[in-house]
Amino acid sequence: MLLNVTNLDVSYGAVKALHGLSLEVDEGEIVTLIGCNGAGKSTTLRAVSGMLRPRGGSIAFEGQNVTGIASHKLVERGLSHVPEGRGIFANLTVAENLALGAYARKDRQSLADDHERALVLFPRVKERLKQLAGTLSGGEQQMLAIARALLARPKLLLLDEPSLGLAPQLVQLIFSIIREINKQGTTILLVEQNAHMALAVANRAYVLQSGEIIKSGPAKQLLDDPDVKRAYLGA
């Protein structure tokens, strides 16, 4: 088990965002969290990546307890988070953004290989290496954000709403790349509003509602689930 979250409690002040959330991610999987606005999807990712300190419960990564460990240390262990809204460093060039992705890495030898691999996945990013990242389009920025996270050589990649604000065609492209990244051996935990796309690409899925998991199972099965269909797929 790569990631094991048990009974996670997170609050923002007095407001409880997650109560008793448990989920697990196996090596090589794509797991997705779907749910409405405010269900706690992003909060879950932030807690897993150490940006929020949980009130209770535990998070284990590769069998080791990592509850309460700072984000930047988790990056070194192989857990990368692509935050919602991309988090591009707008005043730095694309190449500098990529270099920051590899900031936490100790091994510099294979860096060129990883750059090459990330740029083969995202040829659009490669065309714009010397450009300021703030001048990229929304889709390109999302690609850069994912490429940058890959340079940390994550074992587990947390993606927060990669389809946010993108044209349908770009959403297709991003999701096919996500599948490709997964095939190359990176486990992915994906948070999405676009439940259709997320369920199509994922192996397993959890459905979140007001901070609790109300359903889970293989993605294919949830795609046909009448409740999920009605609530999230609009069918």
Partner 1 sequence: MQTLDYAIPGTRPTQPGWVTFVPPLAVLMLALLMHYCVPFLGAYAERIMTDMAIAMIAAMSLTIVNGFTGQFSIGHAAFMALGGYTAAWCSYYFCLRYWGQTAVVPGTLFGTHQLILLCCALIGGAVAAGAGWVVGLPSLRLRGDYLAIVTLGFGEILRVLFQQTNSQALSKPELANRPLFGSDPTNPGWVFPPGVGGSLGFTDIPKSTNLFLCYLLVGLTFLFAYRLKFSSLGRALLSIREDEIAAEAMGVNVTRLKVRAFMFAAFFAGIAGTLYAHQSGTTLRPIDSGFIRSFDIVIMVVLGGLGSISGALLAAVIITGVTAALLGLTDYGLLPYRMPVFALVLILMMIFRPKGLFGVHEIWDYLPQFGRKGAK
Q: HSE on the CB side for 139, CA within 13 Å?
A: 14
| CA–CA dist 206, 214 (Å, integer) | 8
Q: Please say which residue, 75 or 195, places its beta carbon nearer to partner 1.
A: 75
Show Cβ contacts of residue 122 under 8 Å, excluding neighbours closer than 6 positions.
143, 144, 146, 147, 177
Q: Please say which residue, 126 or 204, places its beta carbon nearer to partner 1.
A: 126
Smallest gap, in angstroms, from Cβ of residue 134 to partner 1? 8
Q: Is 34:232 a contact under the CB 8 Å cutoff? A: yes
Smallest gap, in angstroms, from Cβ of residue 120 to partner 1? 9
Q: Please say which residue, 36 or 100, places its beta carbon nearer to partner 1.
A: 100
Q: Please say which residue, 58 or 71, places its beta carbon nearer to partner 1.
A: 71
Q: Please say which residue, 46 or 204, places its beta carbon nearer to partner 1.
A: 46
Rg (CA), the chain: 17
Smallest gap, in angstroms, from Cβ of residue 169 to partner 1? 25
Q: Which residues bind partner 1 (CB under 8 A)?
A: 49, 51, 70-73, 75-76, 80-83, 86-93, 95-96, 98-104, 108, 111-113, 115-116, 119, 129-132, 134-135, 148-149, 152
Q: Where does the chain show beta strands of DSSP type E? A: 3-12, 15-25, 30-35, 56-61, 64-65, 79-82, 156-160, 187-192, 204-209, 212-218
Q: Torsion angle of alpha carbons 35, 36, 39, 45, nearest 10°?
A: 60
Show Cβ contacts of residue 115 under 8 Å, excluding neighbours closer than 6 positions.
98, 151
Smallest gap, in angstroms, from Cβ of residue 100 to partner 1? 5
Q: Please say which residue, 73 or 230, places its beta carbon nearer to partner 1.
A: 73
Residue with tokens 């919602």: 84
Smallest gap, in angstroms, from Cβ of residue 101 to partner 1? 6
Q: Is 33:25 a contact under the CB 8 Å cutoff? A: no
Smallest gap, in angstroms, from Cβ of residue 112 to partner 1? 6
Smallest gap, in angstroms, from Cβ of residue 20 to partner 1? 26
Supply 96's token pair.
């500098």
Determine how many CB atoms are found less than 10 A away from the CB of residue 25: 23
Q: Please say which residue, 79 or 197, places its beta carbon nearer to partner 1.
A: 79
